[in-house]
A and B are shown apart, each in its own frame.
Chain A
Amino acid sequence: MNLQRPGAIAEYIRGSAVWKSIVRHGPPDTNRNRALIVFENLFLHVHPVKVRERTLKFSHTYWLGGVTLVATAVLFVSGILLMFYYHPSVPLAYRDMKELAFVVDNGLFLRNLHRWGAHLMVIAAFLHMLRVFYHRAYRPPRQFNWVVGVVLMSLTLGLSYTGYLLPWDQLAYWGVSVGTNMVREAPFLGEKIRFLLLGGNVVSANALLRFYVLHCVVLPVALILFVSVHVWRIRKDGGVQGPYRPDEETGEES
């Protein structure tokens, strides 16, 4: 066969038995195949195969939920890479920050990416919440997804806060000391919750380990669960809702 012809290699790959065993549809040259690309892909099939053209406009959602999600993805990848270099113990944790800055290739870049990504996630999630509120996108049938969003907002703050202690520098130590002193004021259970959180009465090596486990296991798992529900329900509730238009009701019998 003549592989010099333009497109011949792509055709050869598409025609191979291996390719056909993975991807069952043809090239996206018909709307049927374009639909199948979305429909037959585990990661894309949360999307419908067709969307309203209006929803693609920037001012429809400002893509703020998307920005939050991308920031989260960046944080997962950079966070896992950082875990390869990090010991959640005193004084190794702080030494690892220095190692990241001076020994590990691109270690400082990795830490910077994780830090600024975390700030972006908090800000974008907050702006996303405001956007949804002012567009009244919490209205039926989306009530429950709003509540899931409030849970996600608290998880985001929890993740950011538990990560704040991990560098084990003065900033981290005293930032977390100030915050956990507030927990103490909760009625009846305040002291007990604080003890549970810190593994002691002061911020110590035990607290570092607990925050590490919360930051790297407990809260990310919870986040994945709730984000899955959140994204899945957008689809179930009829897609993203843009600016509120009183003339257009979405099937709610009020």
Chain B
Amino acid sequence: MRPVPPMELVESSDPIATPKRVALVIPDTRPSVRRVQERWVMTFPHLIIRELLLFQVVLIALSIAALLFDAPLEGIANPLETPNPAKAPWYFLGLQELLHYFPPIVAGVVLPGLTVVALAVIPYAKINLTAGPLWRGAGRRTPIAIAGGAFLLVLLFGLFSCWPIVVPTVLVAGGMFAARGGENGGRFRRAVARVSLPEWIMTWFVVIATTLTLIGTFFRGPGWSFVWPLSGAPLG
């Protein structure tokens, strides 16, 4: 049985009364002291003055926007008069656009739920911590895996004829293959060649989210039909 440590501490300068315990400390995952030499500056004024400036710049920019542009206000809410189309706030229009292609449970619950879970587990998935450039040390199976994955996604979303996902998927997959062997190219090609698999996946997600939101915001009119932005004239 382990002895129970004392619950009371008596403070005393007498080393016999309060012996100092010597213990082995096992390092945990806290940031360690850096080995590289670096220049340090005093937080006041260097950081504080920048924070103040940032505060003022944002406040002034917002004030100017508030002076120039008025917040929209329509007629009083009327449950009997449904506008066509009825749109959610802009940051949910990507989801509303998905509703056009998928059954509500997929567009409203499954896909957003998967997105939140996928975002939350990013730092705990090993690939996100270890992945290097996509094609560095790639075997013969890598291109097959990428092409296969892209093909399955295109097939899946193509079944629902959700082209705002299909087109970016094809484009991003094309980009992944275009990055191959770019290590010796120009500056841009080298930068693309350094992109890792997790970064390609995030880019894919961002492109899709942006595309869906833009379509939902600007290109959807009565009955969620496709229209030209602003004029609202039907497309095609």
Contacts and interface: CB of A to CB of B under 8 A. Distances in A.
Interface of A: 28, 31, 34-35, 37-38, 44, 47-54, 56, 63, 66-67, 70-71, 73-74, 90-91, 94, 97, 101, 108-109, 111-117, 120, 122, 129-130, 133-134, 136, 138-144, 146-147, 150, 153-154, 157, 160-161, 164, 167-175, 177-179, 181-187, 190, 202-203, 236-238, 246, 248, 250-254
A113 to B, nearest CB: 4
A116 B95 contact: no
Contacts of A53: 38-41, 46
Given A51-B47, A56-B47, A112 B65 contact: yes
Contact of B29 (A186, A187, A203, A252): A252
A171 B40 contact: no
B31 A141 contact: yes
A184 B105 CA distance: 9
Contacts of B88: 175, 178-179
B105 A187 contact: yes
A130 B45 CA distance: 29
Interface size class of B (residues with CB under 8 A): 35 or more
B55 A70 contact: yes
Contact of B77 (A70, A113, A169, A248): A169
Given A116-B65, A175-B89, A167 B73 contact: yes
A159 B46 CA distance: 33
A178 B83 CA distance: 11
Which of A66, A154, A175 is the most central at the interface, judged by chain B CB atoms within 10 Å of its CB?
A175
B36 interface: yes
B31 A250 contact: yes
Nearest to B76: A94
13 contacts: A35-B42, A38-B48, A47-B43, A52-B39, A56-B41, A134-B199, A147-B123, A164-B89, A173-B77, A173-B79, A174-B87, A175-B89, A182-B108
Given A147-B120, A174-B87, A178-B88, A141 B29 contact: yes
Nearest to A50: B40
Binding site of B, secondary structure by majority: helix, strand, loop or mixed? helix
B129 A254 contact: yes
B171 interface: no
Interface string B76-99: 111101110011110110011001
A18 to B, nearest CB: 22
Given A63-B54, A116-B65, A169 B39 contact: no
Contact of B123 (A54, A142, A250): A142
A206 B92 CA distance: 23
Nearest to A149: B119
Contacts of A144: 123
A185 B91 CA distance: 19
Contact of B51 (A66, A111, A115): A66
A101 B104 CA distance: 38
B43 A54 contact: no
B32 interface: yes
Contact of B47 (A47, A133, A190, A252): A47
B58 A52 contact: no
Smallest CB-CB A-B distances: 4 pairs: A251-B32, A238-B31, A182-B108, A173-B77
Contact of B89 (A63, A161, A248): A161
A66 B59 CA distance: 12
Contacts of A34: 42-45
B62 to A, nearest CB: 5
B62 A113 contact: yes
Nearest to B41: A53
A169 B27 contact: no
Contacts of B230: none
Given A168-B76, A170-B81, A185-B105, A113 B66 contact: yes
B45 to A, nearest CB: 7
B71 A182 contact: no
A51 B33 CA distance: 14
A62 to B, nearest CB: 11
